[in-house]
Amino acid sequence: TQPTCSTATGNVVLNGLPSGNWTINPGAITGSTSSTTISGLTAGTYNYSVTNSTGCVSALTADIVIAAQPLTPNAPVVSVTQPSCAVGTGTITVTLQNATDTYSFDNGVTFQTGNIKSGLVPGNYHVIIKSIGGCNSAVTSATINTLPNTPVTPIVGTITQPTCSTATGNVVLNGLPSGNWTINPGAITGSTSSTTISGLTAGTYNYSVTNSTGCVSALTADIVIAAQPLTPNAPVVSVTQPNCAVGTGTITVTLQNATDTYSFDNGVTFQTGYIKSGLVPGNYHVIIKSIGGCNSVATSEILVAPTCNNIDLVVVETVNASTVTIGQTVIFSIVATNNGPDNATGTSVDVKLPSGFTFVSTSNTIGTYDPIIGLWTIGNMINGATETLTITATVNANGSYTMTAVIKCDEVEATLVNNTSTAELVPFEFFIPDAFTPNRDGFNDLFEIRHPVNTKIEIEIFNRWGNSVYKSSDYQNDWDGKGTGNFLGKDLPDGTYYCSYKELNASSGEIVLKGLKYITLRR
């Protein structure tokens, strides 16, 4: 019988003993074989023999092993991790005594090898250690406390954003449990007895609530406080006053921001454009509104009604051709009229030849014309007076072909809509070739003259002896080197010929251009 958790020594029963005395070694423990149980054996290895009455000794028995008393662990030393706001269960940890120990957290009902027990719900727990020899320690009790109360996530209530006059915003906190709130960033704190937080500058905030047990709620949704809306500066404006030609005025506001809107009636209506035209004489109060809805202070302007004379000057400019040939002479006619009913003084017409023309001559019914500066000075024009200026010029090879006449006087007219007149010409290059090759090879077989479509060509060809060999009064670019008249149907020989040509207005028959030219016929 080995030592137990409560007994430090073992016993051995000696069987099959002959009559005599026994001796156990080590220790030379002796006794009569009439007693078969030996008690009080400490841990060790023993054997025994028997000596009979004749003095003979038996052989030794097999070894008798008395084990050491099994270890009984000390009462457990434990540490407890209580449930927290984030973790709803607790943990008991036992201080290690022996690596081979096992552990019970339910008063010995079950044992585990690990010295840590997690996931423990609130309640009382009895911890026991069992040694490898099966000895149980005394019980150590531990308590897992009730789960702390975590506050619910509060609700963001009304958010008051900064206004044109206030740089900060407010937020109302709803659904607050008892405790303290914290707003971040800034770690702004306060008691939940106060549900309105003021003075929040532009930024993104959220808040949580910490209750009396120290548990913190989840963060609220983001609270966005916008930047204070921009208030525009007082408008800077420029004004175009009504005049005798345009009876209304215009107010133009200097831009501050592309998203601004504008009022020209003291904030009654707003428009996206910063220019307001068609304004009758009167007082106007201009306000700028930013995209955030903030109004500037007003800028006031007065549109003044003009004082106008009752004069209506008219100028009409015409030219005797619409399509012309380079080198052609054209005549511009400028007619000035005062439709009254008042008389005009200091009347003049700006009418300068553009670069596409070369001045030839001029004539006028009154006044003087200076072709260098392009000014026709008329002077006084009574009601109903009409005067005419003509300018003769030739068409250049290139340049501007639009000429504008503008009439004006010393007085301010009621209307200027008919004070300007323009004439425009489209020049066309007249071209007559130097040679052609009527050999019927499909190239340059016809004598082709280029000219405007509203003109026609008269042409006559002479040979070196002055004989007319070809003639057409309405040339169609069809001369193929055969003669007319006395040379009708004959192929004219190679050589140099003399060409006389005229360009005529197709409608009036007026000569536009004429000239002489040598040409070469080569087959």
Q: Encode 267-293 in three state secondary structure.
A: CCCCECCCEEEEECCEEEEEEEECCCC
What is the chain's mean pLDDT, rounded? 89
Backbone angles phi, psi at 400, to 5 degrees: -90, 140
**What's the CA gap between 394 and 332, in Å, rounded?**
11
**What's the CA gap between 272 and 261, in Å, rounded?**
5
Under 8 Å CB-to-CB from 283, ≥6 apart: which residues? Answer: 300, 301, 302
- Say whether pLDDT at 20 is over 70: yes
Q: Tens digit of pLDDT for each residue in 36-61?
A: 788 888 999 999 888 888 889 988 88
Q: What is the model's pLDDT at position 507? A: 85
Q: Which of 138, 76, 127, 79 is nearest to 104 (CA)?
A: 127
Tokens of 308: 């106008």
Q: Which long-range contacts (CB under 8 A, 24 or more apart) does 262-270 make?
A: 262/235, 262/286, 262/287, 262/288, 262/289, 263/287, 263/288, 263/289, 266/298, 267/295, 267/298
**What's the CA gap between 473 and 461, in Å, rounded?**
12
Q: Which of 145, 147, 142, 143 is nearest to 84 (CA)?
A: 147
Under 8 Å CB-to-CB from 34, ≥6 apart: which residues? Answer: none
**For range 82-89, the mean pLDDT:** 84
**For range 136-155, the mean pLDDT:** 86
- Say whether pLDDT at 89 is over 70: yes
24 DSSP β-pair partners: 29, 48
DSSP helix/strand/coil, 27: coil
Under 8 Å CB-to-CB from 282, ≥6 apart: which residues? Answer: 302, 303
**What's the CA gap between 146 and 126, in Å, rounded?**
17
| Centroid of chain to Cα 139 | 72
Q: Which of 104-113, 128-137, 200-209, 435-444 comes out lowest in average pLDDT?
A: 200-209
Tokens of 176: 């607050």
DSSP helix/strand/coil, 134: coil
- Say whether pLDDT at 79 is over 90: yes
Is residue 72 within 8 A of residue 101, CB to CB? The reply is no
Q: Tell me, yes or no, if the pTM score tops 0.75.
A: no
Distances (CA, A) of 383 to 98, 314, 340, 366, 408: 132, 12, 5, 16, 15
Burial of 30: CB neighbours in 10 Å, binned 0-12, 13-18, 19+? exposed
| Centroid of chain to Cα 67 | 88
Tokens of 362: 């001029």
Q: Tens digit of pLDDT for each residue in 266-318?
A: 999 999 999 999 999 999 999 999 998 999 999 999 999 887 778 899 999 99
Q: What is the model's pLDDT at position 415? A: 76
Q: Which letter does DSSP use for residue 305 in this model?
A: P
Residue keyed to tokens 């930047």? 227
- Say whether pLDDT at 193 is over 70: no
Under 8 Å CB-to-CB from 121, ≥6 apart: which residues? Answer: 89, 90, 144
Backbone angles phi, psi at 152, to 5 degrees: -70, 155
Q: What is the model's pLDDT at position 360? A: 96
Is residue 151 within 8 A of residue 218, CB to CB? The reply is no
Would you tell me how many other CB atoms lie within 10 Å of the CB of residue 227? Answer: 12
- Say whether pLDDT at 189 is over 80: no
Burial of 379: CB neighbours in 10 Å, binned 0-12, 13-18, 19+? middle
